[in-house]
Amino acid sequence: MTRRDIEFDAEGVTLRGWFYPAEGATGPAPTIVATHGFSAVKEMYLDVYAEAFAAAGLNAVVYDHRNFGASDGEPRQEIDPVAQVRDYRHAITFASTLAETDPQRIGVWGSSYSGAHVLVVAAIDRRVKAVVSQVPLVSGLANLYALVRADFVGGLRESFDVDREARYAGDSPAMIPVVSEDPLGPAALPTADSWTWFTDTAKLRAPAWRNETTLRSVEMFTEYEPVAHIAAISPTPLLLMPAQHDHLTPTRLAIDAYERAREPKKIVILPGGHFDAYVDGFSVSSTAATDWFVEHLQP
């Protein structure tokens, strides 16, 4: 599979990634724009999804979020969901300028936190002609109460306030681990499978990943409500793929959100938990996504 390095401007911040050309294309082809979830970098299996899309005759643009991996941006390791949504739109603009792209046939793919972003992007950007949202966050506030013990929520909110006061005084943003081996330790993603997947995947294929994010990123997580946009995606075709046993972005929340979406839409329940979509369940998740894009973007 031939790919090339890319970079593009996102209103003053350079974002970097890879372009995968559609196999067998004899002219401009559909292009899928994709990036990763909370704190993850493109080496964490985005390449295998891009290869699957390319093998089906679809171009793929994959990139690292601002402040992460190969992309520029400050402060490092900060995750602003609104900025990431806007960067998806910058990536769509970039993809539209490529000679290989038919700008009338652009799809967006996202997973976990970026699975949330593509719901928003598809609702507000009509250049998107098909969307796939895999194991998505749909409500930051509901997810907070699903992940954090009730007796810990007050302390977490107090830490947000302390961090705000410190930043106001000129201090750097406080940091928090993304994952922790201790299920009761401080972490943005406090589940055992999060610790296992991130640490194992970093060792295997993503040495650029760092186990830290700003505490402010977690606060912005709690403010983010992509489900508010889901009904406005129509008439763009939506494929939603929750995992059967997902307790990081709970399955029931995604299914409830799906009921609020309008046609055309389809739901595919992936096997296993949140992170199985990338490895053991990759064949199921990639095939469903590829088939959806081919159906709605190929002539």
pLDDT per position as a tens digit, 105-128? 999 999 999 999 999 999 999 999
Find, among 282, 194, 209, the residue nearest to 246 by Cα. Answer: 194
Find, among 193, 163, 195, 198, the residue nearest to 181 by Cα. Answer: 195
Measure Cα distances from 120 to 34, 57, 68, 230 in Å: 14, 26, 21, 7
pLDDT of the residue at 13: 98
Q: What is the model's pTM?
A: 0.97
Q: What is the 3-state secondary structure (H, E, C) of the chain?
A: CCCEEEEEEECCEEEEEEEECCCCCCCCEEEEEECCCCCCCCCCCHHHHHHHHHHCCCEEEEECCCCCCCCCCCCCCCCCHHHHHHHHHHHHHHHHHCCCEEEEEEEEEEECHHHHHHHHHHHHCCCEEEEEEECCCCCHHHHHHHHCCHHHHHHHHHHHHHHHHHHHCCCCCCEECCCCCCCCCCCCCCCHHHHHHHHHHHHHHCCCCCCCEEHHHHHHHHHCCHHHHHHHCCCCCEEEECECCCCCCCHHHHHHHHHHCCCCEEECCECCCHHHHHCCCHHHHHHHHHHHHHHHHCC
pLDDT of the residue at 136: 98
CATH code of the region 4-141+225-297: 3.40.50.1820
Which tokens belong to 126?
A: 């009509």
CA distance 41 to 64: 6
- Domains of the chain, residue spans: 4-141+225-297
Instruction: Report the 10 Å Cβ neighbour count for 133.
Output: 32
| pLDDT reading at 262 higher than 80 | yes
pLDDT of the residue at 1: 59
Do 132 and 293 meet the contact criterion of CB atoms below 8 Å apart? yes
Q: Phi first, then psi: what are they for 236, rounded to 5°?
A: -70, 130
pLDDT of the residue at 107: 98
What distance lies between CA 186 and its chain's CA centroid? 22
pLDDT of the residue at 299: 75
CA distance 142 to 122: 22
Q: What is the pLDDT of residues 148-186, one digit of tens each?
A: 889 989 999 999 999 999 999 999 999 999 999 998 889
Q: What is the pLDDT of residues 43-96, one digit of tens each?
A: 999 999 999 999 999 999 999 999 999 999 999 999 999 999 999 999 999 999
